[in-house]
């Protein structure tokens, strides 16, 4: 790092304690604009979270959370022992000349302010969200792809693919009936590139600029980003032991246009929403005249015998937009997800899918239809369910031997669990130390938005073969004790 780059960290952060903007957000935004504006250059060392908190007279929690956001955005790197440093800016984030700034439309400026989690690109053990890609049914998939391409006629390669899309929607509707108890007409099913695009489409269809959208906090950053990019005011409602804290959310966010929740396995806390809470959520949605997005990411993987059905299956008001994905049951790289629209919104979504580029490739759609209709998907999900249970069991047994972990949560569903640490642990430093050992954990606070969570690690076990769980957990134990 060049010498001139390591200027001392300026302590001119100013806070408004009466502001509705939480302290962590204020700290984050000020440091972030100092980095993007060039005041804090690459290599500048940030004070420790403890020192900075003392210096500016706040508790450590908001500072830790702010550093977590900065790290998640790729703006700083936290190295245990060496503290945190400003990272070099990607070319696209470098300061824009004033002449160009004047021309930048409001929407572009809004997009640039949105917090998104930048993937490190590494796939180490325990990276949340990665399914068992080691078990991907490559042989069957390859056969189906080859068969479709051998039979492809010129007409199959043109634009007129409505029959192909209708066949996939029918296959998905039948699959949802069998696996999630959802009854819907194939015309309600829209196939797009991942749950992320489905959330973005729902935002485009339902949100006007300045509408309020209430989301879980901590929660999925990709959903917040989609709503913020549509111009919504995104409000965080808390999460407690029963899932989305509906009462707290309703008092923080009266009359939302849209509510977003992950009832099957709250992301990231891993809580399965209680039945009472589901009823409260549906009543609040109806009473406030809102729409509700149910993100059923990984919903096929429920391990409790009496897991409640999706909200879409119990809602009587046709106010739920159900979103699913093949990222967890097959592979994220396929980029296939879908949404099930209430009847009233079918036409709007039909146009929105057209505007966004017609959904997924027609050949991929045919292959996936064959895969579902040939019962390969149902078989693969059965295989994954038992693999995930085994991987989870191995991980829990290994974590029980790590002294710094005080509690484990999120066992009832999905492919990740949450390991709570001692109250004084610095989870961001632990995650950074783990990454140096090739173990890619996330933290609960990296997913927090306006709230602050106790120190905890989010550990994905989906992609880790059982035989390497123990050795990876030993590396994690080393990172915790460092």
Q: What residues line the site for ligand PLP (CB under 6 A)?
A: 129, 194-196, 220, 222, 262, 267, 295, 297, 325, 327, 332, 337
Helix, strand or coil, per DSSP, at residue 460 = strand
Residue number with the smallest Cβ distance to ligand PLP = 194
For residue 327, the minimal CB distance to ligand PLP (Å) is 3
Compute how many other C-beta atoms are within 10 angstroms of the C-beta atom of residue 194. 21
Nearest to 214 by CA among 190, 246, 181, 173: 246
Q: Which residues face 259 on adjacent strands?
A: 214, 292
Token representation of residue 422:
């001692």
Integer angstrom CA distances of residue 430 from 114, 261, 441: 26, 29, 9
For residue 371, the minimal CB distance to ligand PLP (Å) is 17
Token representation of residue 408:
């484990």
Nearer to ligand PLP, 129 or 404 (CB): 129
Would you say 430 and 458 are in contact if contact means Cβ atoms under 8 Å apart? no
Read out DSSP for 315-380?
Answer: -SSS-EEEEEESTTTT-GGG--EEEE--GGGHHHHHHHHHHTTSSS-HHHHHHHHHHHHTTHHHHH
Nearest to 226 by CA among 215, 237, 241, 240: 215
For residue 254, the minimal CB distance to ligand PLP (Å) is 25
Query: Residue 303 burial (CB < 10 Å; 0-12/13-18/19+)?
Result: middle
For residue 222, the minimal CB distance to ligand PLP (Å) is 6
Nearer to ligand PLP, 245 or 426 (CB): 245
For residue 462, the minimal CB distance to ligand PLP (Å) is 11
Nearer to ligand PLP, 226 or 253 (CB): 226
For residue 379, the minimal CB distance to ligand PLP (Å) is 21
For residue 129, the minimal CB distance to ligand PLP (Å) is 4
Q: Which residues face 258 on adjacent strands?
A: 213, 291
Nearer to ligand PLP, 325 or 443 (CB): 325
Compute how many other C-beta atoms are within 10 angstroms of the C-beta atom of residue 304. 10
Nearer to ligand PLP, 244 or 297 (CB): 297
Nearer to ligand PLP, 44 or 325 (CB): 325
């Amino acid at each position: 790092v060049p010498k001139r780059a390591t200027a001392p960290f300026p302590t001119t952060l100013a806070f408004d304690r009466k502001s509705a903007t939480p302290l962590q957000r204020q700290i984050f935004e000020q440091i972030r604009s100092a980095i993007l504006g060039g005041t804090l250059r690459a290599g500048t060392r940030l004070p420790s979270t403890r020192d900075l908190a003392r210096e500016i007279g706040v508790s450590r929690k908001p500072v830790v959370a702010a550093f977590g956001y900065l790290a998640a955005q790729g703006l700083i790197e936290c190295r245990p022992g060496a503290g945190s440093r400003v990272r070099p800016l990607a070319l696209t984030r470098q300061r824009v000349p004033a002449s160009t700034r004047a021309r930048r439309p409001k929407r572009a400026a809004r997009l640039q302010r949105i917090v998104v989690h930048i993937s490190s690109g590494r796939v180490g053990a325990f990276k949340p969200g990665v399914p068992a890609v080691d078990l991907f049914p490559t042989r069957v998939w390859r056969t189906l792809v080859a068969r479709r391409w051998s039979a492809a006629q010129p007409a199959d390669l043109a634009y007129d693919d409505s029959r192909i899309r209708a066949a996939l929607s029918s296959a998905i509707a039948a699959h949802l009936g069998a696996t999630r108890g959802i009854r819907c007409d194939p015309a309600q099913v829209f196939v797009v590139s991942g749950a992320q695009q489905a959330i973005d489409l729902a935002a485009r269809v339902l949100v006007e600029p300045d509408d309020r959208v209430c989301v879980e906090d901590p929660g999925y950053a990709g959903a917040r980003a989609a709503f913020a990019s549509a111009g919504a005011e995104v409000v965080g409602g808390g999460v407690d032991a029963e899932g989305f804290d509906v009462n707290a959310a309703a008092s923080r966010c009266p009359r939302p246009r849209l509510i977003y929740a992950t009832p099957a396995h709250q992301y990231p806390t891993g809580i399965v929403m209680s039945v009472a809470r589901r009823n409260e959520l549906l009543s609040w949605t109806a009473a406030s005249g809102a729409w509700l997005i149910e993100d059923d990411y990984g919903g096929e993987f429920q391990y409790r015998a009496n897991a409640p059905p999706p909200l879409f299956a119990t809602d009587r008001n046709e106010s739920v937009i159900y979103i699913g994905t093949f990222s967890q049951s097959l592979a994220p790289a396929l980029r296939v997800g879908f949404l099930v629209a209430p009847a009233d919104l079918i036409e709007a979504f039909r146009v929105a899918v057209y505007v966004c580029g017609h959904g997924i490739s027609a050949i991929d759609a045919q292959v996936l239809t064959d895969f579902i209709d040939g019962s390969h998907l149902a078989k693969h999900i059965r295989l994954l369910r038992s693999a995930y249970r085994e991987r989870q069991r191995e991980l829990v047994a290994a974590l029980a031997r790590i002294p710094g972990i005080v509690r484990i949560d999120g066992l009832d569903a999905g492919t990740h669990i949450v390991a709570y640490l001692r109250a004084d642990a610095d989870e961001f430093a632990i995650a950074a130390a783990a990454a140096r050992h090739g173990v890619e954990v996330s933290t609960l606070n990296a997913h927090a938005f306006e709230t602050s969570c106790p120190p905890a690690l989010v550990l994905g076990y989906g992609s880790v073969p059982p035989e390497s769980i123990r050795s990876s957990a030993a590396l994690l134990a080393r990172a915790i004790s460092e």
